[in-house]
Chains A and B, each alone.
Chain A
Amino acid sequence: MAALLLWIPLMPLLSSLLLLLAGARLGERPVALLGVGSVALSALFSLAAILSFSASDGVAWGIETLPWFSALGLEVGFSLHFDGLSAVMVGVITGVGLLIHLYSVAYMAGDADFARFFAYLNLFVAMMLILVLAGDFLLLYLGWEGVGLCSFLLIGFWYRQPENGYAARKAFVVTRIGDVALALGLLILVQQFGMLNIQDSVDQARQLWPGSDLAGWVALLLLGGAVGKSAQLPLQTWLPDAMAGPTPVSALIHAATMVTAGVYLIARTQGIFMLAPQVLQLVALVGAMTLFLAACSALVQHDLKRILAYSTISQIGYMFFALGTGAFSAAVFHLMTHAFFKALLFLAAGQVIMSLHHEQDTRRMGGLLRPMPFSALCFAIGCAALAALPLTSGFYSKDAILLQAYAQGGAGFAWWLALAGALVTALYSLRLFVRLFLGDCRTLPEPDNRPLLCWPLGILCLLALFGALIPQPLHDVFSAAPQAHVPLPVHLLVLAMPVIGLVAGIWLLLRHRDWRQAFATGALARWWRAGWGFDVLYDWLLVRPLLWLARVNRRDLADLPVQLLVWTSRICHQGLSRLQSGRLRHYAVGIVGGAVLILAVVL
């Protein structure tokens, strides 16, 4: 089994290396074959691993491959770990990843940098797999930074536009702030345990840390890493800008997989977080705040991909909220269903954008139902799942989150926020669909229905509808939460919330267009559209001071004393050399003057 597990990340890694070194010389067809084929093989191996894992009663596999290094006081190995949680993640990454790779072959066809695109995309899949398979925190960190790098490279894929480069740098730097926190968390583990094996250190922490503050510190720092990667408050600002990358990239990296790495990290280190209940509460609060703020922002965006980006932030907020309330398996469940329906929405959006000649502004869309019925169907299913309408996969997972959260902690502030978020989610899903497909046709589309674009969408439609039926072998991973009774009215409320949102939305749409108009141009909407002003805040608090500092001290103040020294010696030198003028009378005056002075002093 060890060899099998090893090949899952190695396949795309090798393919990526090959494409990086020789891709420019290959044609599109071999590149596509290599890029897609490696991920397909990886998906096949994953399937085999998951099946044989399920057959073996869910005992986790720990695999020591090679030692990485052993320094004085720290041992690190390239060890892999495979359990139910890894199985879910690997399944999502390779499954959704394969569909998106297939779609990309059509989407990127004809691009001059076709090979570079697949090299980066394969590298991303490899790094993401390393992240979720790592049995050692340092290997996880390698994957963690690796996916960040690929995200950077792919956001800036069309590097000629400076704004893409800016967005790419913003994404990397903001997540790196979180990474510093994560690294500091790892340093505490090194200091305490002298190793970074994930399972062992969590076990040690469970035994040694109850009652100590250390668990809280470590959990807090890990949370710092998680909010950076998963675009949660207060480090969420990079994700909307990250939409500058090609749309399949947004689907794979900035919706389905990488941005859920934070959720994975917290789920993976559940043992440490359980020792720090206050931090867990903080996780729930962060999630609830994020999901509500981002949902409001999604409600008023004009750019199609920005709507989806804010929606992603909001949905990951649900996952954080679930983690924080102790509903770990519900969080991972939602991670999976969200990967399905959000990938579906992004890929369908890609198809729409392509058909409209790279138009992304929803104000110039509309009436696409008739010319693009397939996209409309995809969007309808995706939006329904996003809004958590009954019988879609999103319904089951979001219900699970809200109900389990209620069962664990009752209806606190965070819970009500999450409930309100469900309402707003239904509203913006409806708005999105209506803007694209109903009303007058503003831009004439040239529908692009190549089979490679449509087949992955069809499969994702099925997954978005029925994905909730896929079993998740998580019961051995998370310590089971105590069962609690949820009263029937709460059940009904949770069930009804999206429907209420939908009905309210339709009512607004049909009866009160003027309200909508007034709201959309109001100050509140403008504030929300700008992401609640976080960008402006950080601009004034961090970016401008930093740039100012860099500008004023470009020539390095520390050099000033040296320059001063040079100056003084130069002035002294000039002064003294002027004394030596070669004129006798000057010397004579000097001698006499000096003699007089000395005499005056002596006498």
Chain B
Amino acid sequence: MILVWLLLLPLLAALFAPQVEHWRADGSRWLSLTALGLQALLLLAAAGGGGDWWLESRADWLPRLGIGWHLGLDGLSYLLLWLTVALGAVSVLISWREIRQRVAFFHCNLMLSVAGIVGVFLALDLFLFFVFWELMLIPMVLLIAIWGHDNRRYAATKFFIFTQASSLLMLIAILGLAFAHQSQTGTLSFDRDALLRLELAPGLAYWLMLGFFVAFAVKLPMVPLHTWLPDAHTEAPTAGSVLLAAILLKTGAYGLLRFSLPLFPAASADFSPVAMALGVAGILYGAKLAFAQDDMKRLVAYTSVSHMGFVLLGIYALNGMALQGAVMQMLAHGFSTAALFIVVGMLQERWHTRDLRQLGGLWTQLPRLSGFTLLFALASLGLPGLANFIAEFLILAGAFQRSWPLTAVAALGLVGAALYALLLVQRGLWGGGAPAPGRHDCSRREWLVLGALALALFWFGLHPQPVLDLVREPLVQLLDAPHHAAESPPRLPVGSWL
């Protein structure tokens, strides 16, 4: 029942947001926070289950078509649900002053999107999964199109078409799987458990795998399918950027871990060198593009491409260390990038510009906000002691065992990260004149949000064990699938040298 309520709470909040606004001006804000708080309580109650699934919820839905209501919670989804709830609350908090128009409708969309994301992280029936996948998309498009910045229509349309076209491929792959099930057992089924037992012909499996992969890779995003991201992130309101960067991108990685890899172990293993190479390309290309930007928000958006390249590399390295690192990176990137977007939003609110050519010298006027910016930039460049470092080190260490040349190239991303992060510090915070004096430093609410995010980064950088333990079981199971076992033993091809 907990799982159903986890889904229902944000839906109810979305439904009643317009109503409560009649009673109180900021009623919808408080309603959303309440719903997220209750979700957090439910998550606390759900903690610490054993077995494959800590909690499961099953019911018939359309039995004739083999479509069922099937939710399941394990360590991986548990972790990502916490991320969703935490960053969801952050999104509400930072919109407190930024969003002034159609407040109720804004929160309605926000909570609908959260509901969709929660559903994605819980669904174990592929048809249900697809429904949630679409549910989280539409409100997000509206968030960008209505409350975004100047070029919001273009960005929203582009985002919509990219994700819609790619999820169409996934739908085809899902149907393909269901029909394969029908041809083998005589009945249609969309249930993950049933589909896991399928024996697919290698060629078919490869094509179906690609269908899933493309949909997830667009969300991730993977170079060269990333071009929707900078536009969407840049044009979205701050809360939208936070939701997009911190959680929505993670659904792509989650999809790979939950469906793509287990359903097609052999095909994924075959495909993994390509995916790893694409991940490495993303790391470097994203860093290079971030380095070139003048728009602060666009810069942060491109760092996401670079960081999610690490996730892709880690997932397709297909060993425990790298997978744990990839999940860690999902979490760390969620916090650090969200924090950077929030900081950019705060600067824009004060100066009405994000152009680095016009900013500079902020440290003199806003020492606290600048300190936070510096800290989050450092997290982004992977400074040890902060969560991103643990993630990137584990990913590189794991990937190294699969392919040392690719890893060596990927490690150059660390230099790239230093280049863009320090350039951001230099152009934004350091330097001479600032645009206008007399801006107030962090308010208490802003302090609270940024401080909490900073604390999280330190906490998971110095004590990542809870995260690693949470996802150990699901990841080990993933790797124990029969075809992954045939992974070649690590070898460093060293010839004679010097």
Contacts and interface: CB of A to CB of B under 8 A. Distances in A.
B422 A217 contact: no
A499 B144 CA distance: 76
B163 interface: no
A187 B400 contact: yes
Nearest to B394: A71
A170 to B, nearest CB: 10
Contacts of A142: 384-385
A138 B475 CA distance: 24
B293 A69 contact: no
Given A71-B321, A191-B490, A159 B224 contact: no
A168 B393 CA distance: 25
A169 B412 CA distance: 17
A188 B494 CA distance: 12
A341 interface: no
Interface in A456-478: none
A213 B407 contact: no
B385 to A, nearest CB: 6
A160 B415 contact: no
A363 B345 CA distance: 50
Contacts of B319: 72-73
A172 B418 contact: yes
Interface stretch (B205-213, B265-273, B460-468): B460-468
Contacts of B404: 187
A374 interface: no
A280 to B, nearest CB: 11
Nearest to A558: B224
A509 interface: no
A183 B411 contact: yes
Contact of A179 (B227, B394, B414, B496): B414
Interface in B84-111: none
Contact of B223 (A74, A282, A558): A558
Given A145-B384, A191-B397, A558-B223, A278 B288 contact: no
B174 to A, nearest CB: 25
Contacts of B485: none
Contacts of A183: 393, 396, 411, 414
Contacts of A190: 321, 397, 400
A141 interface: yes
Contacts, number: 146
Interface stretch (B63-71, B349-357, B428-436): B428-436
Interface in A502-549: 546, 549
Given A169-B422, A556-B227, A71 B494 contact: no
B303 interface: no
A412 B260 CA distance: 61
B492 A214 contact: yes
B324 A159 contact: no
B376 to A, nearest CB: 14
A168 B426 CA distance: 9
Interface string B203-239: 0000000000000000000011011001000000000
Interface residues of B, number: 66
B220 to A, nearest CB: 14
A282 B498 CA distance: 10
A276 to B, nearest CB: 9
B396 A556 contact: no
A584 B393 CA distance: 71
Given A169-B422, A553-B289, A69 B464 contact: yes
Contacts of B393: 138, 183
B320 A71 contact: yes
Contacts of A72: 319-321, 323-324, 472, 475-476
B419 interface: yes
Nearest to B476: A72
A162 interface: yes
A217 B397 contact: no
A159 B371 CA distance: 13
B202 interface: no
A176 B414 contact: yes
Contacts of A74: 321, 394, 397
B414 A180 contact: yes
B497 A191 contact: no
A149 B490 contact: no
B176 to A, nearest CB: 26
A160 B289 contact: no
Contacts of B497: 213, 216-217
A198 to B, nearest CB: 16
B315 to A, nearest CB: 14
B396 to A, nearest CB: 6
B145 interface: no
Contacts of B430: 156, 159-160, 162, 165
Contacts of B34: none
B292 A67 contact: no
A551 B398 CA distance: 34
A152 B378 CA distance: 11
Interface string B358-377: 00010110010001000000
A176 B382 CA distance: 11
Nearest to B385: A142
Given A183-B393, A183-B411, A152 B496 contact: no
Interface in A38-85: 67-74
Given A187-B400, A216-B497, A20 B288 contact: no
Contact of B498 (A145, A278, A551): A278
Contacts of B407: 184, 187
B57 interface: no
A156 B377 CA distance: 16
B232 to A, nearest CB: 13
A546 to B, nearest CB: 8
B492 A554 contact: no
Contacts of B397: 74, 187, 190-191
A176 B415 contact: yes
Contacts of A176: 414-415, 418
Contacts of B495: 213
Given A71-B320, A141-B384, A278-B498, A551 B292 contact: yes
A476 to B, nearest CB: 30
Given A71-B321, A190-B397, A556 B289 contact: yes
Contacts of B429: 159
B200 interface: no
Given A71-B324, A71-B468, A176-B414, A162 B432 contact: yes
Contacts of B498: 216, 278-279, 282
A173 interface: yes
A456 B113 CA distance: 63
A438 interface: no
A349 B498 CA distance: 43
B494 A73 contact: no
Nearest to B361: A160
Nearest to A164: B430
A599 interface: no
A584 B281 CA distance: 56
A559 interface: yes
Nearest to B495: A213
B432 to A, nearest CB: 5
22 contacts: A67-B465, A69-B463, A72-B323, A72-B472, A72-B475, A73-B398, A146-B383, A149-B383, A162-B431, A165-B430, A173-B415, A183-B396, A184-B411, A187-B396, A191-B401, A191-B490, A213-B494, A213-B496, A216-B497, A553-B292, A554-B292, A562-B227
> What are the 6 closest A-B residue pairs judged by CB atoms, nearest first?
A72-B320, A159-B430, A550-B292, A142-B384, A559-B227, A558-B224
Given A142-B385, A165-B431, 11 more contacts: A24-B367, A73-B321, A73-B398, A74-B397, A149-B378, A160-B432, A184-B407, A188-B492, A190-B321, A191-B401, A279-B498
Interface of A: 20, 24, 67-74, 138, 141-142, 145-146, 149, 152, 156, 159-162, 165-166, 168-169, 172-173, 176-177, 179-180, 183-184, 187-188, 190-191, 213-214, 216-217, 278-279, 282, 546, 549-551, 553-554, 556, 558-559, 562
